[in-house]
Amino acid sequence: MVWNPHDLNPAIASIAKGRTIGSIAIKLDNVSKQFEGASSPAVASLNLDIEEGSIVVLIGPSGCGKTTTLRMINRLIEPTSGRIVINGEDVTQRPVAELRREIGYVIQQVGLFPHQTIANNIATVPKMLGWEKQHISDRIKELANLVGLEPSLLERYPDELSGGQQQRVGVARALAADPPVLLMDEPFGAVDPIVRTRLQDELLELQARVGKTIVLVTHDIDEALKIADRIALLNVGGILEQYSSADELLAEPANAFVEEFVGEDRSVKRLQLRTVADLPFHQGPVIAATAGAAAARNVMREYASEWFGVTSQDVFLGWVHGDDLQDETPLESVPRSVPAAQVQPDSTLRSAMQIIMTSHTSVAVIDDGGRFGGVVTLELIRSSLEEETGR
Ligand SMILES: Nc1ncnc2c1ncn2[C@@H]1O[C@H](COP(=O)(O)OP(=O)(O)OP(=O)(O)O)[C@@H](O)[C@H]1O
Ligand SMILES: [Mg+2]
Protein backbone atom coordinates (compact mmCIF):
# COMPACT_ATOMS: atom_id res chain seq x y z
CA MET A 1 0.00 0.00 0.00
CA VAL A 2 1.32 3.44 -0.86
CA TRP A 3 1.21 5.64 2.21
CA ASN A 4 -0.38 8.98 1.52
CA PRO A 5 -0.37 11.73 4.15
CA HIS A 6 -3.57 13.15 2.68
CA ASP A 7 -5.42 10.07 3.89
CA LEU A 8 -4.85 11.21 7.45
CA ASN A 9 -6.72 13.93 9.22
CA PRO A 10 -5.27 17.36 8.37
CA ALA A 11 -3.45 17.88 11.70
CA ILE A 12 -1.67 14.55 11.55
CA ALA A 13 -1.00 14.95 7.84
CA SER A 14 0.76 18.22 8.43
CA ILE A 15 2.92 16.66 11.14
CA ALA A 16 3.73 13.79 8.81
CA LYS A 17 4.56 16.26 6.05
CA GLY A 18 6.70 18.28 8.44
CA ARG A 19 8.86 15.28 9.11
CA THR A 20 9.77 14.89 5.44
CA ILE A 21 13.51 15.03 5.61
CA GLY A 22 15.21 17.67 3.55
CA SER A 23 12.06 19.49 2.51
CA ILE A 24 12.88 23.19 2.78
CA ALA A 25 9.91 25.41 3.64
CA ILE A 26 11.76 28.73 3.79
CA LYS A 27 15.01 29.59 2.08
CA LEU A 28 16.94 32.79 2.69
CA ASP A 29 19.38 33.12 -0.16
CA ASN A 30 22.09 35.73 0.35
CA VAL A 31 19.65 38.15 1.92
CA SER A 32 20.87 41.61 2.96
CA LYS A 33 19.12 44.65 4.37
CA GLN A 34 20.71 48.06 4.37
CA PHE A 35 18.46 50.68 5.97
CA GLU A 36 18.72 54.10 4.43
CA GLY A 37 21.25 56.27 6.23
CA ALA A 38 22.62 53.40 8.32
CA SER A 39 26.40 53.04 8.28
CA SER A 40 26.32 49.25 8.16
CA PRO A 41 23.78 46.66 7.05
CA ALA A 42 21.20 45.36 9.56
CA VAL A 43 21.43 41.96 7.87
CA ALA A 44 24.39 40.89 5.73
CA SER A 45 24.33 38.10 3.12
CA LEU A 46 22.24 35.78 5.22
CA ASN A 47 21.75 32.19 4.06
CA LEU A 48 19.31 29.98 5.95
CA ASP A 49 17.45 26.81 4.99
CA ILE A 50 14.47 26.20 7.23
CA GLU A 51 12.98 22.73 7.11
CA GLU A 52 9.25 22.26 6.91
CA GLY A 53 7.70 21.42 10.29
CA SER A 54 10.77 22.48 12.24
CA ILE A 55 11.36 25.18 14.84
CA VAL A 56 14.25 27.48 13.97
CA VAL A 57 15.32 29.97 16.61
CA LEU A 58 17.06 33.25 15.75
CA ILE A 59 19.16 34.46 18.63
CA GLY A 60 21.84 37.08 19.16
CA PRO A 61 22.55 40.40 20.86
CA SER A 62 20.14 43.31 20.66
CA GLY A 63 20.19 45.03 17.29
CA CYS A 64 21.73 42.08 15.43
CA GLY A 65 18.89 41.97 12.90
CA LYS A 66 16.55 39.30 14.27
CA THR A 67 13.33 41.30 13.87
CA THR A 68 14.50 42.62 10.50
CA THR A 69 15.07 39.04 9.32
CA LEU A 70 11.59 37.92 10.45
CA ARG A 71 9.95 40.90 8.80
CA MET A 72 11.68 40.23 5.52
CA ILE A 73 10.10 36.77 5.47
CA ASN A 74 6.56 38.22 5.46
CA ARG A 75 7.62 41.29 3.48
CA LEU A 76 6.95 43.86 6.17
CA ILE A 77 10.50 44.84 5.24
CA GLU A 78 11.87 44.33 1.72
CA PRO A 79 15.44 43.04 1.41
CA THR A 80 18.01 45.27 -0.29
CA SER A 81 19.35 42.22 -2.09
CA GLY A 82 19.01 38.45 -2.11
CA ARG A 83 15.99 36.17 -2.33
CA ILE A 84 13.50 34.64 0.08
CA VAL A 85 11.75 31.53 -1.17
CA ILE A 86 8.79 29.91 0.57
CA ASN A 87 7.79 26.46 -0.64
CA GLY A 88 9.70 26.99 -3.85
CA GLU A 89 8.24 30.41 -4.66
CA ASP A 90 10.06 33.72 -4.45
CA VAL A 91 8.09 35.85 -1.96
CA THR A 92 8.43 38.94 -4.17
CA GLN A 93 6.38 37.09 -6.80
CA ARG A 94 3.45 36.70 -4.40
CA PRO A 95 0.79 39.31 -3.67
CA VAL A 96 1.60 40.59 -0.17
CA ALA A 97 -1.90 40.02 1.24
CA GLU A 98 -1.96 36.42 0.06
CA LEU A 99 1.53 35.79 1.43
CA ARG A 100 0.69 37.14 4.88
CA ARG A 101 -2.36 34.92 5.09
CA GLU A 102 -0.02 31.94 4.99
CA ILE A 103 2.29 33.38 7.61
CA GLY A 104 1.17 33.94 11.19
CA TYR A 105 3.10 36.68 12.94
CA VAL A 106 3.49 37.15 16.69
CA ILE A 107 5.09 40.57 17.06
CA GLN A 108 7.61 41.68 19.66
CA GLN A 109 5.81 43.13 22.76
CA VAL A 110 2.62 41.23 21.81
CA GLY A 111 0.98 44.28 20.17
CA LEU A 112 -2.69 43.48 20.71
CA PHE A 113 -5.20 46.08 19.53
CA PRO A 114 -6.04 47.85 22.82
CA HIS A 115 -9.58 48.97 21.88
CA GLN A 116 -10.73 45.56 20.69
CA THR A 117 -11.83 42.64 22.80
CA ILE A 118 -9.67 39.54 23.01
CA ALA A 119 -12.14 37.72 20.74
CA ASN A 120 -11.90 40.45 18.11
CA ASN A 121 -8.12 40.51 18.39
CA ILE A 122 -8.02 36.80 17.65
CA ALA A 123 -10.51 37.24 14.82
CA THR A 124 -8.42 39.85 12.97
CA VAL A 125 -7.32 37.71 10.03
CA PRO A 126 -10.49 35.59 9.67
CA LYS A 127 -12.50 38.84 9.50
CA MET A 128 -10.14 40.18 6.88
CA LEU A 129 -10.71 36.99 4.94
CA GLY A 130 -14.47 37.49 5.20
CA TRP A 131 -15.26 34.28 7.08
CA GLU A 132 -18.86 33.68 8.16
CA LYS A 133 -19.70 34.87 11.70
CA GLN A 134 -20.38 31.39 13.02
CA HIS A 135 -17.18 30.05 11.53
CA ILE A 136 -15.21 32.86 13.20
CA SER A 137 -16.80 32.36 16.58
CA ASP A 138 -16.21 28.60 16.44
CA ARG A 139 -12.61 29.19 15.48
CA ILE A 140 -12.08 31.66 18.37
CA LYS A 141 -13.32 29.09 20.86
CA GLU A 142 -11.15 26.41 19.33
CA LEU A 143 -8.06 28.64 19.50
CA ALA A 144 -8.74 29.77 23.07
CA ASN A 145 -8.82 26.12 24.03
CA LEU A 146 -5.69 25.35 22.00
CA VAL A 147 -3.55 28.03 23.68
CA GLY A 148 -5.11 27.58 27.13
CA LEU A 149 -7.17 30.75 27.48
CA GLU A 150 -10.27 30.74 29.70
CA PRO A 151 -13.35 31.43 27.51
CA SER A 152 -14.41 34.07 30.07
CA LEU A 153 -11.42 36.20 29.01
CA LEU A 154 -12.61 36.52 25.43
CA GLU A 155 -14.87 39.51 26.06
CA ARG A 156 -12.24 41.44 28.01
CA TYR A 157 -9.80 44.04 26.66
CA PRO A 158 -6.03 43.46 26.43
CA ASP A 159 -5.14 45.65 29.43
CA GLU A 160 -7.42 43.47 31.58
CA LEU A 161 -5.19 40.43 30.99
CA SER A 162 -1.88 39.39 32.55
CA GLY A 163 1.29 39.44 30.44
CA GLY A 164 1.20 35.67 30.01
CA GLN A 165 -2.46 35.71 28.97
CA GLN A 166 -1.76 38.46 26.44
CA GLN A 167 1.06 36.40 24.96
CA ARG A 168 -1.34 33.47 24.53
CA VAL A 169 -3.74 35.80 22.72
CA GLY A 170 -0.86 36.87 20.47
CA VAL A 171 -0.19 33.23 19.59
CA ALA A 172 -3.91 32.50 19.05
CA ARG A 173 -4.25 35.53 16.76
CA ALA A 174 -1.28 34.38 14.69
CA LEU A 175 -2.74 30.87 14.36
CA ALA A 176 -6.26 32.03 13.50
CA ALA A 177 -6.29 31.27 9.78
CA ASP A 178 -4.20 28.12 10.29
CA PRO A 179 -1.12 29.37 8.43
CA PRO A 180 1.56 26.78 7.66
CA VAL A 181 4.31 29.21 8.73
CA LEU A 182 4.53 31.03 12.05
CA LEU A 183 6.93 33.89 12.81
CA MET A 184 7.28 34.63 16.53
CA ASP A 185 9.27 37.62 17.75
CA GLU A 186 10.18 37.12 21.42
CA PRO A 187 6.73 35.66 22.08
CA PHE A 188 7.51 34.91 25.74
CA GLY A 189 9.62 37.96 26.44
CA ALA A 190 7.24 39.70 28.81
CA VAL A 191 6.56 37.00 31.38
CA ASP A 192 8.22 35.62 34.49
CA PRO A 193 10.40 32.49 34.29
CA ILE A 194 7.69 30.10 35.55
CA VAL A 195 5.03 31.21 33.07
CA ARG A 196 7.71 31.30 30.42
CA THR A 197 8.62 27.66 31.00
CA ARG A 198 4.95 26.73 30.81
CA LEU A 199 4.39 28.65 27.58
CA GLN A 200 7.49 27.00 26.07
CA ASP A 201 6.19 23.56 27.01
CA GLU A 202 2.82 24.46 25.53
CA LEU A 203 4.43 25.65 22.31
CA LEU A 204 6.25 22.32 21.98
CA GLU A 205 3.01 20.42 22.60
CA LEU A 206 1.16 22.64 20.14
CA GLN A 207 3.90 22.11 17.57
CA ALA A 208 3.65 18.34 18.01
CA ARG A 209 -0.08 18.61 17.25
CA VAL A 210 -0.20 21.21 14.47
CA GLY A 211 3.25 20.78 12.86
CA LYS A 212 3.91 24.35 11.67
CA THR A 213 7.17 25.68 10.37
CA ILE A 214 8.16 28.12 13.10
CA VAL A 215 10.80 30.84 13.12
CA LEU A 216 11.11 32.20 16.64
CA VAL A 217 13.27 35.04 17.95
CA THR A 218 14.58 35.08 21.50
CA HIS A 219 17.30 36.63 23.67
CA ASP A 220 17.35 33.64 25.97
CA ILE A 221 19.87 30.91 25.15
CA ASP A 222 18.17 28.38 27.42
CA GLU A 223 14.88 28.97 25.62
CA ALA A 224 16.65 28.44 22.30
CA LEU A 225 18.32 25.24 23.48
CA LYS A 226 15.03 23.89 24.76
CA ILE A 227 12.74 24.47 21.83
CA ALA A 228 14.86 24.74 18.67
CA ASP A 229 15.44 22.06 16.08
CA ARG A 230 18.09 24.42 14.76
CA ILE A 231 19.53 27.63 16.17
CA ALA A 232 20.77 30.54 14.05
CA LEU A 233 23.14 32.63 16.15
CA LEU A 234 23.51 36.12 14.70
CA ASN A 235 26.03 38.81 15.48
CA VAL A 236 25.61 42.57 15.14
CA GLY A 237 25.33 43.48 11.48
CA GLY A 238 23.17 40.43 10.84
CA ILE A 239 26.17 38.14 10.47
CA LEU A 240 25.38 34.45 10.91
CA GLU A 241 27.98 33.00 13.27
CA GLN A 242 26.58 29.48 13.48
CA TYR A 243 23.53 27.57 12.30
CA SER A 244 23.21 24.16 13.90
CA SER A 245 21.34 21.94 16.33
CA ALA A 246 21.46 22.87 20.01
CA ASP A 247 23.76 19.96 20.76
CA GLU A 248 26.19 20.95 18.03
CA LEU A 249 26.17 24.59 19.09
CA LEU A 250 27.20 23.53 22.59
CA ALA A 251 29.62 20.78 21.57
CA GLU A 252 31.31 22.53 18.68
CA PRO A 253 31.00 26.31 18.91
CA ALA A 254 32.23 27.70 15.60
CA ASN A 255 34.27 30.52 17.13
CA ALA A 256 35.00 32.56 20.25
CA PHE A 257 31.83 34.65 19.86
CA VAL A 258 29.63 31.54 19.89
CA GLU A 259 31.57 30.06 22.77
CA GLU A 260 31.08 33.16 24.86
CA PHE A 261 27.43 33.51 23.87
CA VAL A 262 26.46 29.98 24.91
CA GLY A 263 28.31 30.32 28.22
CA GLU A 264 31.02 28.54 30.19
CA ASP A 265 28.69 25.81 31.37
CA ARG A 266 28.04 24.47 27.92
CA SER A 267 28.86 20.87 28.90
CA VAL A 268 26.30 21.00 31.68
CA LYS A 269 23.80 22.56 29.27
CA ARG A 270 24.36 19.65 26.91
CA LEU A 271 23.39 17.27 29.71
CA GLN A 272 20.00 18.92 29.75
CA LEU A 273 19.41 18.02 26.10
CA ARG A 274 19.90 14.29 26.63
CA THR A 275 18.03 11.69 28.57
CA VAL A 276 19.04 8.57 30.44
CA ALA A 277 17.46 6.53 27.64
CA ASP A 278 20.19 7.87 25.32
CA LEU A 279 22.88 6.09 27.35
CA PRO A 280 24.02 2.54 26.55
CA PHE A 281 22.70 -0.14 28.89
CA HIS A 282 25.05 -0.76 31.83
CA GLN A 283 24.27 -3.62 34.21
CA GLY A 284 26.28 -2.25 37.15
CA PRO A 285 26.45 -4.08 40.52
CA VAL A 286 22.93 -5.39 40.21
CA ILE A 287 21.93 -9.05 40.39
CA ALA A 288 18.80 -11.17 40.49
CA ALA A 289 17.68 -12.21 43.98
CA THR A 290 17.99 -15.85 42.94
CA ALA A 291 21.74 -15.42 42.30
CA GLY A 292 22.66 -15.68 46.01
CA ALA A 293 25.14 -14.16 48.45
CA ALA A 294 28.33 -15.34 46.75
CA ALA A 295 27.28 -13.70 43.51
CA ALA A 296 26.52 -10.51 45.44
CA ARG A 297 30.07 -10.46 46.86
CA ASN A 298 31.51 -11.03 43.40
CA VAL A 299 29.56 -8.25 41.82
CA MET A 300 30.53 -5.79 44.59
CA ARG A 301 34.19 -6.74 44.09
CA GLU A 302 33.91 -6.45 40.33
CA TYR A 303 32.45 -2.94 40.57
CA ALA A 304 34.46 -1.93 43.68
CA SER A 305 31.12 -1.06 45.28
CA GLU A 306 29.94 -1.26 48.89
CA TRP A 307 26.41 -1.69 47.61
CA PHE A 308 24.61 -4.00 45.24
CA GLY A 309 21.16 -3.85 43.71
CA VAL A 310 18.62 -6.69 43.75
CA THR A 311 16.03 -7.46 41.11
CA SER A 312 13.21 -9.94 41.03
CA GLN A 313 11.78 -10.83 37.63
CA ASP A 314 13.27 -7.61 36.22
CA VAL A 315 11.63 -5.47 38.90
CA PHE A 316 14.16 -3.47 40.91
CA LEU A 317 13.76 -4.19 44.62
CA GLY A 318 16.42 -1.84 46.01
CA TRP A 319 20.00 -1.37 47.08
CA VAL A 320 21.64 -3.52 49.79
CA HIS A 321 24.74 -2.54 51.75
CA GLY A 322 27.47 -5.20 51.81
CA ASP A 323 27.48 -5.21 55.65
CA ASP A 324 23.87 -6.39 55.66
CA LEU A 325 24.62 -9.42 53.52
CA GLN A 326 24.21 -12.75 55.35
CA ASP A 327 25.02 -16.10 53.74
CA GLU A 328 21.97 -17.88 55.15
CA THR A 329 19.41 -15.17 54.31
CA PRO A 330 17.92 -15.21 50.79
CA LEU A 331 18.73 -11.98 48.95
CA GLU A 332 15.06 -11.10 48.69
CA SER A 333 14.85 -10.88 52.49
CA VAL A 334 18.05 -8.95 53.22
CA PRO A 335 17.29 -5.42 54.51
CA ARG A 336 17.29 -2.91 51.66
CA SER A 337 17.67 0.80 51.74
CA VAL A 338 14.77 2.74 50.29
CA PRO A 339 15.61 2.72 46.57
CA ALA A 340 15.88 6.50 46.35
CA ALA A 341 18.86 6.47 44.02
CA GLN A 342 16.92 5.98 40.84
CA VAL A 343 16.04 7.83 37.67
CA GLN A 344 13.52 7.32 34.92
CA PRO A 345 14.44 6.67 31.31
CA ASP A 346 13.20 10.14 30.36
CA SER A 347 15.13 11.96 33.12
CA THR A 348 17.72 14.37 31.71
CA LEU A 349 21.37 13.52 32.17
CA ARG A 350 21.63 16.70 34.18
CA SER A 351 19.17 15.49 36.77
CA ALA A 352 20.80 12.03 36.77
CA MET A 353 24.13 13.72 37.51
CA GLN A 354 22.53 15.64 40.35
CA ILE A 355 21.27 12.41 41.92
CA ILE A 356 24.62 10.64 41.50
CA MET A 357 26.37 13.54 43.23
CA THR A 358 24.13 13.33 46.27
CA SER A 359 23.74 9.56 46.60
CA HIS A 360 26.17 6.99 47.91
CA THR A 361 25.17 4.24 45.53
CA SER A 362 24.98 3.84 41.81
CA VAL A 363 21.79 5.17 40.30
CA ALA A 364 19.35 2.65 38.88
CA VAL A 365 17.18 3.35 35.86
CA ILE A 366 13.61 2.34 36.67
CA ASP A 367 10.72 2.73 34.28
CA ASP A 368 7.07 3.38 35.18
CA GLY A 369 6.47 -0.34 35.62
CA GLY A 370 9.31 -0.59 38.19
CA ARG A 371 11.48 -2.52 35.72
CA PHE A 372 15.24 -2.27 35.95
CA GLY A 373 16.85 -0.61 32.93
CA GLY A 374 20.51 -0.56 33.92
CA VAL A 375 22.67 1.73 36.00
CA VAL A 376 23.87 5.29 35.32
CA THR A 377 27.38 6.29 36.31
CA LEU A 378 29.30 9.56 36.00
CA GLU A 379 31.64 7.80 33.61
CA LEU A 380 28.76 6.85 31.29
CA ILE A 381 27.46 10.41 31.35
CA ARG A 382 30.90 11.83 30.68
CA SER A 383 31.62 9.50 27.78
CA SER A 384 28.23 10.27 26.20
CA LEU A 385 29.44 13.86 25.79
CA GLU A 386 32.35 12.62 23.72
CA GLU A 387 30.10 10.96 21.18
CA GLU A 388 29.37 12.52 17.84
CA THR A 389 26.74 15.21 18.05
CA GLY A 390 23.36 13.94 16.93
CA ARG A 391 19.99 15.59 16.44
N1 LIG B 1 13.08 50.86 10.10
C2 LIG B 1 14.38 50.99 10.40
N3 LIG B 1 15.12 52.01 9.92
C4 LIG B 1 16.44 52.11 10.18
N5 LIG B 1 17.13 51.24 10.93
C6 LIG B 1 16.45 50.19 11.44
C7 LIG B 1 15.05 50.01 11.21
N8 LIG B 1 14.65 48.90 11.84
C9 LIG B 1 15.74 48.41 12.45
N10 LIG B 1 16.83 49.18 12.21
C11 LIG B 1 18.20 48.92 12.68
O12 LIG B 1 18.59 47.65 12.20
C13 LIG B 1 19.34 46.96 13.18
C14 LIG B 1 18.65 45.64 13.48
O15 LIG B 1 17.41 45.87 14.11
P16 LIG B 1 16.44 44.71 14.57
O17 LIG B 1 15.20 45.33 15.08
O18 LIG B 1 16.34 43.73 13.47
O19 LIG B 1 17.29 44.08 15.76
P20 LIG B 1 16.91 42.88 16.76
O21 LIG B 1 17.97 41.87 16.61
O22 LIG B 1 15.52 42.47 16.57
O23 LIG B 1 17.10 43.62 18.17
P24 LIG B 1 16.29 43.38 19.56
O25 LIG B 1 16.85 42.14 20.12
O26 LIG B 1 16.68 44.57 20.37
O27 LIG B 1 14.84 43.34 19.25
C28 LIG B 1 19.43 47.89 14.38
O29 LIG B 1 20.67 48.56 14.32
C30 LIG B 1 18.27 48.84 14.18
O31 LIG B 1 18.56 50.09 14.74
MG1 LIG C 1 13.81 42.58 17.72
Contact 248, 216 (CB under 8 A): no
DSSP string, 297-356: HHHHHHTT-SEEEEEETTEEEEEEEGGG--TTS-GGGS--B---SEE-TTSBHHHHHHHH
Mutate to test the pocket of ligand 1, among 46, 68, 261 (most ligand atoms within 8 A of CB): 68
Enter the pTM of the model.
Answer: 0.80
Mutate to test the pocket of ligand 1, among 66, 218, 220 (most ligand atoms within 8 A of CB): 66
State the ligand closest to the CA atom of 233.
Answer: 1
CA 341 to ligand 2 centroid distance, Å: 45
CA 217 to ligand 2 centroid distance, Å: 8
Domains in the chain (CATH in brackets) are 5-102+179-273 (3.40.50.300), 277-384 (3.10.580.10)
- State the 10-residue block means of pLDDT for the chain, 391 residues long: 35 39 85 92 95 95 94 94 93 88 82 91 90 93 86 93 86 86 87 80 84 92 93 94 95 94 89 90 92 92 91 89 85 74 90 86 86 91 77 45
State the ligand closest to the CA atom of 62.
Answer: 1
Instruction: In whole angstroms, give the CA distance from residue 321 to residue 316.
Output: 15
The single-letter code of the amino acid at 22 is G
CA-closest residue to ligand 1 atom 7: 35
CB within 8 Å of 189: residues ≥ 6 apart: 108, 109, 218, 219
CA-closest residue to ligand 1 atom 26: 62
CA 50 to ligand 1 centroid distance, Å: 22
State the ligand closest to the CA atom of 107.
Answer: 2
Do you know the residue count of the chain? 391
CA 108 to ligand 2 centroid distance, Å: 7
Which of 86, 258, 38 is closest to 183 using CA atoms? 86
CA-closest residue to ligand 1 atom 14: 65
CA-closest residue to ligand 1 atom 5: 35
Contact 326, 304 (CB under 8 A): no
Instruction: In whole angstroms, give the CA distance from residue 378 to residue 353.
Output: 7
What is the sign of the dihedral through the CA atoms of 210, 242, 187 and 45? negative
Instruction: In whole angstroms, give the CA distance from residue 14 to residue 8.
Output: 9
CA-closest residue to ligand 1 atom 9: 68
CA-closest residue to ligand 1 atom 1: 35
Q: For the chain, first and last CA: distance in Å? A: 30
Contact 258, 335 (CB under 8 A): no
CA 111 to ligand 1 centroid distance, Å: 17
Q: Which residues contact ligand 1 via a Cβ below 6 A?
A: 35, 38, 42, 62-68, 108
Can you give the pLDDT at residue 359?
79
Mutate to test the pocket of ligand 1, among 64, 70, 216 (most ligand atoms within 8 A of CB): 64
Instruction: In whole angstroms, give the CA distance from residue 187 to residue 171.
Output: 8
State the ligand closest to the CA atom of 185.
Answer: 2
Instruction: In whole angstroms, give the CA distance from residue 377 to residue 363.
Output: 7
- Counting atoms of ligand 1 from 1, which one is nearest the CA of 108? 27
CA-closest residue to ligand 1 atom 16: 65
State the ligand closest to the CA atom of 37.
Answer: 1
Can you give the pLDDT at residue 389?
63
CB within 8 Å of 303: residues ≥ 6 apart: 284, 285, 362
Can you give the pLDDT at residue 11?
37
